[in-house]
Amino acid sequence: QIQSKVTELGGYMEQSDISGSSITHNNIRPDRYGSITARIPANKLDSFIALVEDSGNVTNRSESTQDVTLQYSDLESRKKTLSVEQDRIWALLEKADTLEAVIALESRLSEIRYELESMESRLKLYDNQVEYSTVTIDINEVLPVNFTPIAPETVGQRIQKGFSRNVKGMADFFTN
């Protein structure tokens, strides 16, 4: 249900892992759990969280925000400076008259291109961080009998459950 909602909202699964056993032995609850990391469009985050909360029993919730404005603007500024330097080197390269000057200018031009491509990649990463929210969900499987009851049990219900457990325990004892 979570995976289909992620897709429906235009997000994507970054990571998904399910492990453990769903087999029940002697009334011992299954030991199965999962972890999902999803990227949800930022403007649809609230509806996704509402779905998750409606789908299960949320026992812990934590939210955090990371402001990348300063890093983004610093990176853009450095990118502009390198672009200006690249333009100057192209102009110098056209006027270079010695082989050593051409080699030195082309070497620096190559370094600048590498740095600009790296900066462009980081800017795209920051854009992605702003456009999508990261949601990490840890899921533990429980048997329906392990859910907290809505109303307290009556004395008769508690006696009946205790009797059933004792009969089951005796059956297991004689079986073993």
Judge whether 39 and 14 are in contact, CB under 8 Å.
yes
Among 46, 24, 30, 18, residue whose Cα is nearest residue 138 = 18
CA 170 from chain centre, in angstroms, equals 47
pLDDT at 76 over 90: yes
Q: Which amino acid is at 13?
A: M
* Mean pLDDT for the chain overall: 86
pLDDT at 84 over 90: yes
pLDDT of residue 22: 63
Phi, psi of 99 (to 5 degrees): -65, -40
pLDDT of residue 29: 59
pLDDT at 59 over 80: yes
Q: At what angle are helices 99-131 and 69-95 packed, to 10 degrees?
A: 160
Q: Given 3-state DSSP classes, what are the helix, strand and coil percentages for the chain, each rounded to the nearest 5?
A: 60, 20, 20
The C-alpha atoms of residue 157 and residue 18 are separated, in whole angstroms, by 36
Among 31, 29, 59, 22, residue whose Cα is nearest residue 143 = 29
Q: Which residue has the tokens 């087999």?
A: 23
pLDDT at 21 over 90: no
Average pLDDT over residues 118-126: 92
Side-chain-facing half-sphere of 176: CA atoms under 13 Å: 7
CA 12 from chain centre, in angstroms, equals 9
pLDDT of residue 60: 84
HEC string for 85-132:
HHHHHHHHHHHCCCHHHHHHHHHHHHHHHHHHHHHHHHHHHHHHHHHE
pLDDT of residue 114: 96
pLDDT at 109 over 90: yes
Average pLDDT over residues 138-163: 76
